[in-house]
Homo-oligomer: A and B are copies of this chain.
Amino acid sequence: MEKPAPVAYPIEQLLQRRWSPRAFAPKPVEREVLLRLFEAARWAPSSYNEQSWRYIVVTQKNPEQLKEAQSVLSSGNAWATKAPVLICSVAQLAFARSDKPNRHAFHDVGAASENLLLQATALGLFGHQMAGFDVEKARVVFQVPEGYEPVAMMALGYPAELESLTEEQRAHEERPRARRPIQDFVFDGRFGNPIGHSKALDSTAQGGGA
Contacts and interface: CB of A to CB of B under 8 A. Distances in A.
B111 A57 contact: no
A115 interface: yes
A44 interface: yes
A55 B10 contact: no
A124 interface: no
A117 interface: yes
Nearest to A29: B204
Given A9-B36, A191-B90, A192-B143, A152 B49 contact: no
Interface string A172-208: 0000011110100111111110010011111111000
A70 interface: no
A57 B15 contact: no
Contacts of A107: 106-107, 109-110, 113, 151-152
A210 interface: no
Interface string A4-21: 010111111011101010
Contacts of A51: 179-180, 185
Contact of A115 (B49, B114, B131, B204): B114
Given A11-B40, A15-B43, A143 B179 contact: no
A109 B109 CA distance: 10
Contacts of A25: none
Contacts of A115: 15, 114
Contacts of A117: 45
8 contacts: A11-B119, A14-B118, A30-B204, A55-B185, A57-B200, A104-B110, A104-B131, A118-B118
Interface of A: 5, 7-12, 14-16, 18, 20, 28-32, 34-36, 38-40, 42-45, 47-49, 51, 53-59, 61-62, 65, 90, 103-104, 106-111, 113-115, 117-119, 122, 129, 131, 142-145, 148, 151-152, 177-180, 182, 185-192, 195, 198-205
